[in-house]
Amino acid sequence: MISVRNLTHRYGDAVAVDEVSLTVDDGSFVLLAGPNGSGKTTLVRQFNGLLSPDSGTVEVNGRPVEEDVVAARTAVGMVFQDPRDGFVASTVGADVAFGPENLGLDRAEITRRVESALAAVRMADRADDRIEALSGGERERVAIAGALAMEPDHLVLDEPFTGLDWPARTAVLDRLEHLRDSGTGIVVVTHDLRDVSALADRTVVMSEGCVELDSPAPSPARLRELGVRPPDSGRGC
């Protein structure tokens, strides 16, 4: 479980996250939405110690993140949009294998994880491709595969679908659903609730650094009020 209590984060004098409390249970799927600048990324970056709160606490599996950042980073996998600088190897397979290798797993387990993660992002036949030759969406898929291969207790994806084509998006959503069903806590930060909301146990909406809504089935009217496009609002063009 990820447990956030009264968390405040400031950049200089500006309050980006304001006294937020939130829990993400094992095996739950939380959508985190809200307008630009509402504090979503600042909040989720605290889940594995990428940012530290000015006040308040974050615990992962009952342990404060600041006590053991390595444990928090193993327990909470994160994928951010536009992962251009996040690659450590020159080929797809080597990059996805890097994390599991650092966990000290045996070769057969590493191979299993890499193959399974690449299949989940529809890149099973691309292990030998050079990352520098991939498109933006393909790089995003490799970043997602890298997080999946770690098999973390929780997975946080910040705008993961922006560059993904429909088959890749569907495949990733299928994997997320399967992971959720097998006990992984999932947080998806998104502006686009359309096909993700069917999987979500809760939708949390932030506004100006605060949690304004936390509901299993938010009404379209309330979502619109908070600046979030409801999932059933049609194509809008």
Ligand X SMILES: Nc1ncnc2c1ncn2[C@@H]1O[C@H](COP(=O)(O)OP(=O)(O)OP(=O)(O)O)[C@@H](O)[C@H]1O
Shortest Å distance, C-beta 34 to ligand X = 5
Give the number of other Cβ atoms within 10 Å of residue 236's Cβ: 5
Shortest Å distance, C-beta 10 to ligand X = 9
**Spatial contact of 170 and 102, defined as CB atoms under 8 Å apart:** no
Read off the tokens for 192: 């686009």
Residue 101, helix vs strand vs coil: helix
Shortest Å distance, C-beta 104 to ligand X = 34
Q: Which is nearer to ligand X, 82 or 101 (CB)?
A: 82
Q: Which is nearer to ligand X, 40 or 175 (CB)?
A: 40
User: In terms of Cα–Cα distance, which of 9, 68, 13, 62 is closest to 40?
Assistant: 9
Shortest Å distance, C-beta 39 to ligand X = 5
| Distance from C-alpha of 88 to C-alpha of 70, rounded to nearest angstrom | 18
| Ranges within 7-26 binding ligand X (CB under 6 A) | 11, 16
Residue 117, helix vs strand vs coil: helix
Task: For residue 135, give the amino acid letter.
Answer: S
Shortest Å distance, C-beta 42 to ligand X = 3
| Ranges within 29-88 binding ligand X (CB under 6 A) | 34, 36-42
Q: What is residue 190's DSSP assignment?
A: -
Q: Which is nearer to ligand X, 140 or 151 (CB)?
A: 140
> Residue 163, interface with ligand X (CB under 6 A)?
no
Total residues contacting ligand X by CB under 6 A comes to 10
Residue ranges that bind ligand X, judged by CB under 6 A: 11, 16, 34, 36-42
